[in-house]
Amino acid sequence: MSLNRRGFMTGRFREATIRPPWATDKFTDQCTRCGDCLKACPEKILIPGSGGFPEVNFSSGECTFCEACVDVCQEAALVKQPEQKPWLHYAKIGEDCLPRRGVICRSCSECCESAAIQFSWAESGVALPQLDPSLCNGCGACVSACPVNVITISSQGVEHE
C-alpha cells in the first residue's frame, strides 16, 4: 500500500479505496470524474471520493452489480469483460462481532444472498459467523446490516479462483 500525504492527513491510509465494479487497471487515468456513474447508480452507493474519483460507500446499501455505472461510462474506465468478476473484494468480519462477544446476532447472514456467511455453533452456545470467501462477491449487503459496524469490504481477502 502506498502512503501519500493526502492519505495520511485524511486518515485514509487505514482503508483501501473501492472503485465501482469493473474498474479497469488504469481507472484513474481514464476516469474524467464526470459523475455519470454516480447519477446512474440506483443504489446510490457511489460517491465522489479523493480527487473527485468515484468510490463505493457501503454504509447506505449494497452493490447489485446492475451494470448501470458501466453502461454510462463514456471513457472506458469501467468495462465489463466476459466471465470477469466485478471486483476482487470480500467481506471481513471484525473481532468485535456480537456473537464473538456472546450476543446472538445473524444480521449479516440474513441479508447475504450468496450464502457466504454461515453460522456454526461454538462451545459458548452462541453460533459464530463463518465467511466463505469463495462464495462472497463483495456486494456489501452485510456492511450496512451489521448493528455494530464491524464488517468491512476489502481486497485483502483470501484470493481464489
DSSP 10: H
Length in residues, the chain: 161
- DSSP readout, 106-134? -HHHHT-TT--EEEE--TTSS-EEEE-TT
Q: Do residues 126 and 104 make contact, with C-beta atoms less than 8 angstroms apart?
A: yes
Is 34 annotated as ligand-binding?
yes
Residue at 54: amino acid letter: P
Is 112 annotated as ligand-binding?
no
Q: Do residues 139 and 114 make contact, with C-beta atoms less than 8 angstroms apart?
A: yes
Is 142 annotated as ligand-binding?
yes
Residue 119, all three cell numbers: 453460522
Cα 14 to Cα 56: distance, rounded to the nearest angstrom: 16
Is 105 annotated as ligand-binding?
no
Cα 121 to Cα 132: distance, rounded to the nearest angstrom: 16
Q: Do residues 48 and 38 make contact, with C-beta atoms less than 8 angstroms apart?
A: yes
Q: Which residues are annotated as a binding site?
A: 31, 34, 37, 41, 63, 66, 69, 73, 136, 139, 142, 146
Q: Which residues are annotated as a binding site for [4Fe-4S] cluster?
A: 31, 34, 37, 41, 63, 66, 69, 73, 136, 139, 142, 146
